[in-house]
């Protein structure tokens, strides 16, 4: 994609090799009450709430200037050392939790969607119906008050109703939305899916990119760029060419953000290759995890504290928050703790696979819209990204793709469920795949990652972080199944179905026991929810619902709830 890159004069981002001074960084967001203020610091460090997100999700009862000014008066009145009880009194007077959202009933919801007829197993058909019936429970719309007084909320007002992930996640999250939309489309809810994509486009126009979630405090970081994949899935179900025509410019704008802000140049064999990393520089701790980030940096120098906050926000941008995947020790290993995060130095396999897929989708969309020059342009971009993934991230010895450590110029040769992501996004040259298909499948089967009774874990390292073993994250299972299936051999197609079977059974058992879907599961114990990380397990759960519906829709005629059900199904 050399000619395409020259248009914006790609640079090797020097910040990859050096820290930035705090003064050089942008503010976390434009609302200081929720992002960069003494008020935020004092309240979060007083630990008024067990979950730091609770405070930054409250609404202001008065305008921002009054809130900040009155807090400084209050702060000085108490000799700049108010007690926890005094701070809580201030919060109770100046903030409220009236809920910025209201329940919403999607008009296109059906309690008997067509996909249920594909499911052979009685128990699984009932399970699919139960998951489908969760959609209205997670459906929300932004209240009129948020549109009328947007400056008093951290929530970004969005036009269309949407499906929340669940639990503490009461807003839209970027990459979650891909699997939610897929599930909605399987359930026949095309208008709801369309509205969710349109909400993301509103965020794109407001911020210049799609943030992590629809909260102001996520302003300076994004998440895996799945917008184009969402539109491709929507188009596959609807053939809505007018929607493509109306939104193609926004899909290009999303690619431009990543090209303009997340590009690095990697030298391999004397040649430079362009790839992407996660990188979200802004001042201070994450507002929604302020206490945790600030506590982790106590005793750090200003530079080390600044770098830690950048790296932890960058890891949050990845969606994998947090994992040994981002731990980088002086010897290049992934041992260590959360304070050893060095996300900026790691070129992720999945991010670059997603970007290659996104560029190809835009090329395909332009072809459908009869724009041959732009179709060729973005096709060239996609091809260059596929070539660069192969040149930099492929490890021929292990027959697998790995994240790349640009600090030490070496592959991160560890099992992570993201390793096979190029197969998922068709970011592998066909001749290369044909040549290496058997070796890749062998590497996947011998990794041990597909051997667990509760699903595919994100790693094999028991670190206590929630994106490590034994946790099974539904989107990663979806990625793994699609990746294995796209190898294309009969053995691979059989294994993909087996991996899907294992996960569906696990979720089914958990649903029977707890009457809930969880955001993550336990690889070692089918049906059990996962743990670790910064917050308790969340119920709901948007992407879990979507992934199970994906598997039931794709493999419904073969899947069974348990081995005894093989001969006890309706026709």
Which residues form the catalytic set? 321, 519
Helices marked H in 318-429 — which ranges? Answer: 349-368, 372-392, 421-424
Integer Cα distance of 478 and 549 in angstroms:
11
Integer Cα distance of 567 and 556 in angstroms:
15
Beta-bridge partners for 273 = 266
User: How would you class 209 by CB atoms within 10 Å of its CB: exposed for 0-12, middle for 13-18, buried for 19 or more?
Assistant: buried
DSSP code of residue 336: S
Integer Cα distance of 155 and 83 in angstroms:
29
Integer Cα distance of 192 and 195 in angstroms:
5
Contact at 8 Å (CB) between 240 and 234? yes
From the centroid of its chain, how far is CA 20?
26
Integer Cα distance of 69 and 27 in angstroms:
19
Contact at 8 Å (CB) between 103 and 139? yes
Tokens (6 digits) for 351: 């991010």
Integer Cα distance of 321 and 326 in angstroms:
9
Integer Cα distance of 32 and 71 in angstroms:
12
Largest Cα–Cα separation, the chain: 75
Three-class SS of residue 405?
A: strand
Q: Beta 400-401 vs 404-405: how paired, if at all?
A: unpaired
CB within 8 Å of 532: residues ≥ 6 apart: 463, 464, 465, 466, 468, 471
């Amino acid at each position: 994609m050399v000619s395409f890159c020259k248009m914006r004069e790609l640079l090797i981002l020097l910040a990859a090799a050096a820290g930035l001074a705090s003064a050089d960084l942008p503010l976390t967001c434009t609302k200081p009450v929720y992002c960069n203020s003494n008020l935020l610091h004092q309240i979060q460090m007083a630990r008024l709430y067990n979950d730091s997100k609770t405070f930054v999700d409250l609404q202001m009862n008065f305008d921002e200037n009054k809130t900040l000014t009155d807090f400084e008066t209050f702060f000085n009145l108490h000799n700049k050392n108010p007690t926890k009880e005094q701070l809580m009194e201030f919060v109770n007077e100046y903030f409220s939790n009236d809920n910025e959202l209201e329940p919403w009933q999607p008009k296109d919801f059906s309690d008997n969607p067509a996909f249920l007829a594909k499911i052979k197993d009685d128990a699984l058909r009932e399970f699919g119906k139960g998951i489908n019936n969760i959609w209205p429970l997670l459906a929300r719309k932004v209240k009129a008050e948020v549109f009328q007084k947007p400056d008093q909320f951290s929530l970004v007002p969005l036009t269309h109703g949407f499906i929340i992930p669940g639990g503490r996640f009461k807003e839209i999250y970027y990459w979650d939305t891909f699997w939610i939309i897929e599930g909605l489309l399987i359930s026949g809810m095309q208008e709801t899916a369309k509205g969710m994509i349109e909400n993301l486009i509103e965020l794109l126009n407001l911020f210049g990119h799609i943030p992590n979630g629809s909260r102001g405090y996520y302003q300076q970081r994004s998440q895996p760029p799945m917008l184009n994949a969402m539109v491709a899935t929507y188009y596959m179900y609807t053939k809505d060419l007018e929607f493509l025509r109306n939104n193609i410019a926004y899909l290009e704008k999303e690619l431009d953000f990543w090209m303009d802000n997340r590009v690095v140049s990697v030298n391999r064999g004397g040649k430079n290759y362009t790839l992407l990393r996660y990188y979200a520089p802004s001042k201070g701790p994450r507002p929604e995890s302020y206490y945790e980030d600030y506590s982790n940096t106590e005793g750090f120098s200003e530079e080390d504290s600044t770098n830690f906050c950048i790296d932890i926000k960058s890891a949050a941008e990845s969606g994998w928050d947090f994992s040994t995947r981002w731990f980088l020790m002086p010897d290049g290993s992934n041992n260590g703790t959360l304070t050893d995060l060095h996300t900026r130095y790691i070129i992720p396999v999945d991010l670059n696979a997603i970007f290659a897929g996104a560029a190809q989708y835009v090329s395909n969309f332009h072809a459908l819209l009869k724009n041959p020059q732009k179709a060729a342009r973005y096709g060239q971009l996609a091809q260059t990204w596929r070539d660069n993934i192969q040149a930099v991230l492929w490890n021929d010895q292990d027959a697998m793709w790995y994240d790349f450590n640009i600090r030490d110029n070496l592959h991160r040769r560890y099992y992570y469920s993201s390793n096979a992501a190029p197969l998922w996004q068709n970011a592998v040259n066909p001749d290369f795949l044909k040549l290496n298909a058997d070796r890749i499948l062998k590497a996947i089967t011998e990794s041990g990652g597909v051997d667990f009774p509760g699903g595919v874990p994100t790693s094999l390292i028991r670190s206590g972080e929630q994106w490590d073993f034994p946790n099974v994250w539904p989107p990663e299972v979806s990625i793994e199944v699609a990746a294995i299936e796209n190898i294309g051999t009969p053995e691979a197609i059989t294994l993909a179905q087996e991996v899907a079977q294992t996960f569906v059974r696990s979720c089914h058992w958990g649903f029977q026991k707890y009457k809930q879907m969880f955001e993550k599961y336990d690889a070692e114990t089918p049906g059990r929810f996962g743990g670790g990380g910064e917050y308790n397990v969340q119920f709901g759960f948007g992407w879990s619902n979507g992934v199970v519906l994906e598997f039931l829709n794709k493999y419904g005629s073969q899947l069974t709830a348990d081995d005894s059900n093989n001969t006890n199904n309706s026709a």
